[in-house]
């Protein structure tokens, strides 16, 4: 089965590009905790390394590691590596993370191209058990409901629930969840709950041996829903020592409109606009709403979508090098 990078150009997915820029904008606020240059960035670069290019150029981070499990095309990954400061590790993510020393504040983006499973939860647990204060965890999973659509509604719900239970383990499925809740964006919502439970359970164990006032806390910052093709869900946030609470407040993450600390997601919806329309709208932005934006023929819903993401809107153009 081909790897996802062979089917999808990750550099050209508009909603993904918006998400990438939003995350980087939030990472910039970490300067309230430490100099950004002292952070380590870990992700799945694939052959495009889009997030690595953005993080390095905009944040100045030089301690970077890309985890790649597809050893069979090692030469291709190494050829496409964009900077000398990116170290590529060819291992399963759980093995690669287990081999690390956790003495540097770390931004870890586990950008999976498949559904939530026990391996994702194992990576989550490892990070939360080890990462130092001021570290950020971001997890992206495929949130399609799945199942055989030829089945009856009841059979389809049962199948989806059975698949979720098989992927994550029966004990990880929150009480009260049923297959009917997994339709549409329901799978994404349940996945967020499962990941959140894993983070909090791991921190509870970690905090058992820490002094009062020095407990590790988790502050959710991100909860995105988007669909360039498949429905995708991203959730994550900041791990920090209680003693750094004032410095976390100083970061002012909440000033960013897309920061979400609860169960309500931020939907990234990218309208299809021409370059001329984009330039015309940019001259009228920022604006508090879309009611006074002038753009002939563009539906109001697309005006609002663009108003919300225009600062992060991708710029794609054909060129000859």
Can you give the pLDDT at residue 296? 87
Cα end-to-end span (Å), the chain: 32
Domain spans in the chain, listed from the N-terminal domain onward = 4-145+184-267, 275-312
Task: Please give the DSSP secondary-structure letter assigned to residue 132.
Answer: P
How far is residue 67's CA from residue 159's CA, in Å, rounded to a whole number?
32
Residues of the chain with pLDDT under 70: 1-12, 316-321
Contact status, residue 134 vs residue 185, Cβ threshold 8 Å: no
pTM (two decimals): 0.93
**Residue 168 DSSP SS3:** helix
How far is residue 226's CA from residue 229's CA, in Å, rounded to a whole number?
9
Can you give the pLDDT at residue 12? 63
What's the gap between Cα 78 and its chain centre?
A: 24
Can you give the pLDDT at residue 8? 43
User: Which tens digit of pLDDT belongs to each residue from 105-133?
Assistant: 999 999 999 999 999 999 999 999 999 99
Can you give the pLDDT at residue 89? 97
What's the gap between Cα 96 and its chain centre?
A: 19
How far is residue 6's CA from residue 136's CA, in Å, rounded to a whole number?
29
Q: 240: exposed, middle or buried (C-beta count within 10 Å: 0-12, 13-18, 19+)?
A: buried
How far is residue 315's CA from residue 304's CA, in Å, rounded to a whole number?
19
The CATH class given to the 4-145+184-267 domain equals: alpha beta
User: Which tens digit of pLDDT belongs to each residue from 266-277?
Assistant: 999 999 999 999
């Amino acid at each position: 089965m081909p790897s996802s990078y062979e089917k999808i150009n990750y550099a050209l997915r508009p909603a993904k590009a918006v998400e990438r820029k939003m995350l980087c904008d939030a990472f910039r606020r970490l300067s309230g905790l430490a100099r950004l240059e002292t952070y380590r960035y870990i992700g799945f670069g694939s052959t495009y390394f889009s997030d690595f290019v953005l993080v390095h150029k905009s944040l100045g981070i030089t301690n970077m590691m890309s985890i790649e499990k597809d050893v069979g095309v090692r030469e291709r990954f190494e050829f496409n590596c964009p900077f000398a400061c990116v170290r590529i590790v060819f291992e399963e993510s759980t093995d690669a993370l287990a081999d690390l020393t956790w003495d540097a504040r770390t931004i870890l983006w586990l950008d999976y191209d498949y559904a939530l499973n026990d391996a994702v939860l194992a990576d989550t647990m490892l990070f939360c058990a080890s990462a130092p204060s001021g570290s950020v965890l971001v997890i992206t999973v495929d949130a399609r409901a799945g199942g055989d659509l030829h089945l009856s509604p009841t059979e389809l719900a049962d199948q989806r629930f059975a698949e979720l239970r098989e992927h994550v383990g029966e004990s990880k499925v929150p009480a009260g969840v049923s297959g009917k809740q997994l339709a549409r964006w329901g799978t994404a919502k349940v996945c967020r709950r499962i990941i959140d439970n894993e983070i909090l359970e791991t921190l509870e164990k970690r905090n058992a041996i820490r002094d009062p006032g020095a407990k590790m806390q988790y502050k959710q910052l991100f909860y995105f829903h988007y669909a360039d093709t498949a429905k995708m869900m991203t959730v994550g946030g900041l791990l920090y020592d209680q003693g750094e609470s004032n410095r976390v407040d100083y970061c002012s993450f909440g000033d960013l409109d897309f920061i979400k600390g609860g169960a309500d997601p931020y939907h990234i919806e990218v309208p299809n606009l021409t370059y001329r329309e984009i330039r015309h709208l940019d001259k009228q932005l920022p604006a508090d709403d879309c009611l006074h934006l002038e753009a002939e023929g563009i539906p109001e819903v697309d005006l609002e979508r663009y108003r919300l993401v225009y600062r992060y809107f991708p710029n794609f153009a054909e060129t000859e090098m």
